[in-house]
Structure 1
Amino acid sequence: MRSVRYITVLLLVSLASCQTVLEPDPVDLLVDELVLNEPNDVQPVRLGMYNALRGTAASTIIAGDFTADYIQFNGTFTDNREFGNKQITAANSVVNTLWGALYRTIYVANFILETLPGVAGVPESTRKQVLAEAHFMRAWANFIGTYTYGDIPQVTSTNQAANRNIGRTARATILASVLADYQAALADLPAVAAGSTNVTTNATYLNKATCQAALARFYLYQRNWAQAETLAGQVIASGIYALETNYSDVVLKDFTRESILEVGYSLSDDPGTTATSLNNLLVGRREVIPSNQLITTLVSTEAGTRRETIGFNVQNLRGSDNGWSVRKYGTASEDNNNIVLMRLAEMYLIRAEARAQQGKITGAAGAVADLNVLRTRANAPAIALTAQADVVLAVERERVYELAFEGHRWYDLVRTGRAQAVMSAFSPNWTSRFELWPIPQSEIQQNPALAGKQNPGY
């Protein structure tokens, strides 16, 4: 397992406007020198853990949407050509970046879980909350890791020598640990009152509803429809979050009322020039652009105002460039350069899918009602389907309209068993091996326990 070299700590303080973010200068902490000996050490290490989570965000969006049918290649970089042409290799730098970011998050979470219980003088309420946050972060990273790479090493300590020689652990075991960590987090994360206007509490930092939302997604992937419906319903009913009246606010603003978990950037640290910067890839260099198929979908009447996810500029229209770009990820000086990891609309879609799979189709507590909440917000025509199979497919389409370029598409197609049918029609290069990303080649070379253990086909 790669030795994690540094964590950049950044304190995010949201002002009353809910839009401006102030941050102090970054503080580099060598992981080998992380200090958690006294109460004053808790906050810096805690913020380092949140920053580690932030490091996973862009690569997770790339995994979810670049691997699938949302993009076509339009640039010069080999990594992006692999995504566009569906010829992904184990040497792809983004494959490596996400792996490293996930295990960096796990490492800092493990450090807190190992060390904080023995630190004297920490208020018990603080200790319980930060330990709960560490459980959540480890669960989040392992969940993404196993659904991206398959069986992954289960790292539960900060012993770096041992961590460099851990083999692959079965997904079922990883997911059991994810559930245990989420349940531990749920018990001690703070509750937030309905109608709270403190978006830093609601979206930047974890609370019980954040964990309920993550569990709703967990149970959806597990096909535990009853639990997915219940957890998503609890988040919806909590009153903490509200759908924005105008979908354009979801695209063009940070820290909206429906944001459940969001990672923020400021003028001083926006990753506008990094290899995985979404603005750089999607808007600046336009290394990848929305696929023609997705454009047709998003500009349809069925999508309603969700078409605002993408925009057209005739000056970009040349050769194979269709002139379209993604609008969701702005520059450092714009008000939409954050990355939203969960928002309320997803909870409606989770509940709709769970209800549809249980045969709860019509009526106030049916899947169609949940879909129409989002369609009404988007000024799209209401649907009136009654057949279960039709509603399940309607949920899939609605997730495209509502969640495009938020990192869900590839994971959705794989978990529903639809990847081969959809993706083979999209690209002649698609094969079933792309239902998992490869283990990064550098990890295969550095970790003896991974030698000869690559995913099939890579």
Structure 2
Amino acid sequence: MTRFLIYIFLLSILSLSSCKEVLEPPPRDLRIDDLVLKRAQDVPAVRVGLYSSFRAITQYTVVAGDFMSDYVRYNGTFGDYREFGTKQITTTNGDVSAMWGYIYNTVYVANFILERLPDLAGVQPAAKKQLLGEAHFLRGLANFYGANTYGDIPKVTTTDQVTNRNIPRAAKADILASVLEDFQYALTNLTTDQTEGAAYANQNTVRAALARYYLYQKNWVQAEQFASQVIDSKVYTLEPDFKTIVFNNFPKESIFEMGYTQNDANSPLLNNLLVTRREMIPSEQLIQALASAESKDRLATISFDATKQRGNDNGWTVRKYGTATDGNSNVVVFRLAEMYLIRAEARAQQGKLAGANGAVSDINVLRARAKAANVSATNQADILATVERERQYELAFEGHRWYDLVRTGRAQAVMSAFSPNWNARYERWPVPQTEIQRNPALKGAQNPGY
């Protein structure tokens, strides 16, 4: 077979220093020969390739969701992270380019499967149905992250190289409509089987994704409905001790998470950034929040070491991301606690505040696990503010904060108080400059302010 690059309008080869390559090895070009789907025997390897492609996105959702927010202070030497710490993001930021590239790598692999699997002989119908559902689901989730990170993005639906090199940005609403279509297909076709655990997608995984999707869309009824379906399935249970969430992969409440081993080239990224090198350290604002009486046991997300306290270093470190041998290197995509928080917010927005089916009840489930006092708020505005704080305590460094502030319209108020450099343009990442240079259809289509 002729070997040629399958760039999705040219997947960027990141220009990184040799020092940064220790943290973030540049992705190799993906070639057609790396994806073979000619026989039934090829299906398992292609399936693993699909999940591996998506997994690469998830570390960057933490970078986007938490490094762009009021959670961190810059404490290192790398320029890309200085931009996040000082809130001065540029179009040449390597992480901005990396996330874009990994999103479209996942979209490509999903499209490859969707184009070739239906006509492949010898594959059991159940296996074919499952993989087609997974391809739709992960393509949808990749595009969901893309639209909520960059805004309008190209809609890539083919593996044709010529087509993909010249695709303009589609409206965010159009991308999200395609996400919903992919999720709905996946919900119909994925299995209900839980034997593969949280490592692979099933119907509950899609329901969790739909709960988050509808929350972002402000469709409170649907957000409540899908969150309730996940909660009521009784497949997942809250860990009694919050430290289990911090220090263990695949806890009982995990719905979907991306696992790593010692042999994974890109698995050290978050550990090195947050723990080993401590390029980014918890901000004083976050430390105070996690140390509050409301947060209680959620303080376990970070820890203090006086020996690290020197110069501008406050001595605090994020604990969630160890090495593969530490047993807590995975990146959580969905877990049960988020479903309670989604349902609490959706219920509060509908005026369902008190009682067994009210927002306060859902918040108190998590407060009880954290050994904190029950909610005292009684009116809608106060309860919604409580939900925002609970998301801060419960989901810190799982990649939610910046996205939450943007979707609720709170980014300008919170972030301008946190950083004098904050600007409204930072509610979206820029389109990577390398992509604009390589894709003619993106010229003149940069996000405002960049």
Measured against the shorter chain, the TM-score band is over 0.9
Is it true that 1:57 corresponds to 2:58 in the alignment? Answer: yes
SS in 1 for 2:328: coil
From 231, 239, 247, give the equivalent of 1:244.
239
Is it true that 1:220 corresponds to 2:215 in the alignment? Answer: yes
- Compute the displacement of 1:33 (Å): 4.6
Give the match for residue 135 of structure 1: 136
Give the match for residue 253 of structure 1: 248
Letter in 1 for 2:233: S
- Post-superposition CA distance 1:97-153 (Å, at most 9, x none): 000000000000000001100101111111111000000011000000000000000
SS in 2 for 1:333: helix
Is it true that 1:86 corresponds to 2:81 in the alignment? Answer: no
Alignment check: 8 A CA contact 1:191 1:207 kept: yes
- Compute the displacement of 1:160 (Å): 1.5
In the superposition, relative to structure 1, how do residues 71 and 223 fare at CA in structure 2: closer, same or farther (>3 Å)? same
From 403, 406, 413, give the equivalent of 2:405.
413
Cα distance between partner residues in 2 of 1:307 and 1:408: 17
SS in 2 for 1:117: coil
Letter in 2 for 1:189: L
In the superposition, relative to structure 1, how do residues 45 and 409 fare at CA in structure 2: closer, same or farther (>3 Å)? same
1:269-280 map, 5 Å: 269=264, 271=266, 277-280=269-272
Letter in 1 for 2:386: A
Give the match for residue 36 of structure 2: 35
Cα distance between partner residues in 1 of 2:32 and 2:352: 49
Give the match for residue 299 of structure 2: 307
Give the match for residue 14 of structure 1: none
| Count of residues paired in the alignment | 429
Cα distance between partner residues in 2 of 1:384 and 1:272: 41
From 356, 360, 365, give the equivalent of 2:348.
356
1:108-187 map, 5 Å: 108-187=109-188
Alignment check: 8 A CA contact 2:12 2:97 kept: no
Query: Which 10-residue stretch deviates more, 32-41 or 55-64?
Result: 32-41
From 414, 418, 421, give the equivalent of 1:422.
414
Letter in 2 for 1:114: E
Question: What TM-score, normalized to structure 2?
Answer: 0.93
SS in 2 for 1:118: coil
Q: Which runs of 5+ in 2 are unaligned?
A: 1-7, 14-27
- Compute the displacement of 1:227 (Å): 0.2
- Compute the displacement of 1:28 (Å): 10
- Compute the displacement of 1:38 (Å): 1.4
In the superposition, relative to structure 1, how do residues 232 and 366 fare at CA in structure 2: closer, same or farther (>3 Å)? same
SS in 1 for 2:312: coil
Percentage identity across paired residues of the two chains = 59
- Compute the displacement of 1:243 (Å): 0.4
Alignment check: 8 A CA contact 2:12 2:101 kept: no
Query: Which 10-residue stretch deviates more, 260-269 or 287-296?
Result: 260-269
Is it true that 1:393 corresponds to 2:394 in the alignment? Answer: no
Is it true that 1:211 corresponds to 2:206 in the alignment? Answer: yes
From 435, 441, 447, give the equivalent of 1:449.
441
Is it true that 1:202 corresponds to 2:197 in the alignment? Answer: yes
Give the match for residue 346 of structure 1: 338
Alignment check: 8 A CA contact 2:59 2:270 kept: yes
- Post-superposition CA distance 1:189-210 (Å, at most 9, x none): 1103xxx6x4xx2210010000
Alignment check: 8 A CA contact 1:79 1:93 kept: yes
Letter in 1 for 2:92: A
Alignment check: 8 A CA contact 2:260 2:267 kept: no
- Compute the displacement of 1:270 (Å): 5.8
Cα distance between partner residues in 1 of 2:35 and 2:426: 38
Give the match for residue 97 of structure 2: 96
Cα distance between partner residues in 1 of 2:433 and 2:311: 35
- Compute the displacement of 1:37 (Å): 1.3
In the superposition, relative to structure 1, how do residues 239 and 397 fare at CA in structure 2: closer, same or farther (>3 Å)? same
Alignment check: 8 A CA contact 1:4 1:31 kept: no
SS in 2 for 1:393: helix
Letter in 2 for 1:343: R
Question: What TM-score, normalized to structure 1?
Answer: 0.92
Query: Which 10-residue stretch deviates more, 237-246 or 261-270?
Result: 261-270
Letter in 1 for 2:336: L
Letter in 1 for 2:370: A
- Compute the displacement of 1:384 (Å): 2.7
Letter in 2 for 1:178: V
- Compute the displacement of 1:271 (Å): 3.1
- Compute the displacement of 1:3 (Å): 3.7
In the superposition, relative to structure 1, how do residues 431 and 298 fare at CA in structure 2: closer, same or farther (>3 Å)? same
Alignment check: 8 A CA contact 1:5 1:31 kept: no
Alignment check: 8 A CA contact 1:255 1:262 kept: yes
- Post-superposition CA distance 1:203-240 (Å, at most 9, x none): 10010000000000000000000000000000001011
Q: 4+ residue stretches of structure 1 with deviation over 6 A?
A: none
Is it true that 1:107 corresponds to 2:102 in the alignment? Answer: no
Give the match for residue 268 of structure 1: 263
Letter in 2 for 1:250: I
From 307, 320, 344, give the equivalent of 2:312.
320
Give the match for residue 22 of structure 1: none
From 192, 215, 225, give the equivalent of 1:230.
225
- Compute the displacement of 1:332 (Å): 2.3
Letter in 1 for 2:433: Q
- Post-superposition CA distance 1:301-334 (Å, at most 9, x none): 1101000000000110011100000000001220
Give the match for residue 18 of structure 1: none
SS in 2 for 1:165: coil
Alignment check: 8 A CA contact 1:5 1:30 kept: no
